[in-house]
Amino acid sequence: MDFPINVQNIKGEKNKIKKGFVKGVELADGTPVNIPLMIVTGNEPGPILALTAGAHGTELVGIEVIRQLFKEGIDIKKLKGTILCIPVVNPLAVQHCSYFTPQDGIDITGVMPGNPTGTITRRIASKIWEIIVKANFMIDLHSVGAPSIPFTILRPGGKPEVQKKALEMSKAVGITITQPSKETMARRPSTMVDVLMENDIPCIVIETPFEKMMREKYIKTGVIGVKNVMKFINMIDGKPEAHSGIPIIGGPYTSLMQTATKGGIVIALKEPGEKINKGEIIANINNVFGEVVEQIISPDNGWMMGYPIAYQRNASQAVASGDFVTFIALENE
């Protein structure tokens, strides 16, 4: 089922959940690859919120967050406004369990607003952009390799008032808040969030840990976080719900991902959520003989957020030169 993406078409509708597919691209054998979409309209006028998940094919917790949100979490008869849900932003990456689109090796979040005549990822991105640019607010659901704590990401783009609104949204989520370090910004100078913020749409990323299987407590973290934002922007009534069973260290803090120089096996020395001190060894890399060949040292006081090794090697603790080893939040930046 295809249907046109035009917010004007759904104004006046009430208490409806429309499900369908937006025409996407074709594979080399002519197989169509379309984009799933839900348009959820409430009982009263209100903001338009975009919810996205599945931009990276190894990060699927957000898909289940969206399912639970509408199967169990929200009564649309009490909803104010409209929600545009894209549970799978990059179907090709999800199909191949790949962070990037296999056909052209591109991260879809880095090429927004896309190009309808570009490579296959840019064409899909242009379809996604047509939907999300209609929103007043957006939450992009991602997953971080476990072990890790859940957190939100604030990117620095946009006008001061847009940045302020994004910070307020992140505070409403109720978990640890991070901002990318200079090193991260150099690696990823522009993402879907940045482009939305530059278009005056406050946007945040919620990162929930994933392992070999989804963990219910992290799915619940995502559901509570999204609902808390919806309460903050007056889409649903109620007081913010507190999270339980997960470490929360506050923020915003500057996040830093440290990489390996030597190849070997990572031995974690700190637990996610634990305080770390400047100069402290927080992980070792051992060679195949069990000898320490590299020590990962905290550059400043802060907190251990996680070990994103599974992010790149399917839950293996092995790293090569340049692979991510630790993810920390710095107190003084």
**Which one has a higher pLDDT value, 137 or 147?**
137
What's residue 1's pLDDT? 43
Length of the chain: 333
Domain boundaries, the chain: 7-232, 255-330
**At which residue do the structure tokens 């913020």 appear?**
197
Do 228 and 241 contact (CB within 8 A), yes or no?
yes
* Residue ranges in 233-315 assigned as alpha helix (H): 310-313
Quick one: tokens of 247? 């470490």
Q: CATH number for the 7-232 domain, one of 3.40.1170.10, 3.40.1160.10, 3.40.630.10, 3.30.50.10? A: 3.40.630.10
Q: What is the DSSP letter of 264?
A: E
Using CA atoms, how far apart are residues 14 and 45, in angstroms rounded to an integer?
9
Quickly name the fold that domain 255-330 has.
OB fold (Dihydrolipoamide Acetyltransferase, E2P) (2.40.50)
At position 231, the amino acid (one-letter code) is K
DSSP letters, 137-161, are EEEEEEEEESSB--EEE----S-HH
Residue 69 carries which DSSP code?
A: I
**pLDDT of 166-215, one tens digit each?**
999 999 999 999 999 988 888 888 899 999 999 999 999 999 998 767 88
pLDDT of residue 332: 65
Residue 153 near residue 109 (C-beta atoms within 8 A): no
Task: Kindly give the residue spans of alpha helices, DSSP state H, lying in 268-315.
Answer: 310-313
How far apart, in whole angstroms, are the C-alpha atoms of residue 141 and residue 132?
14
Q: What is the pLDDT of residue 139?
A: 98
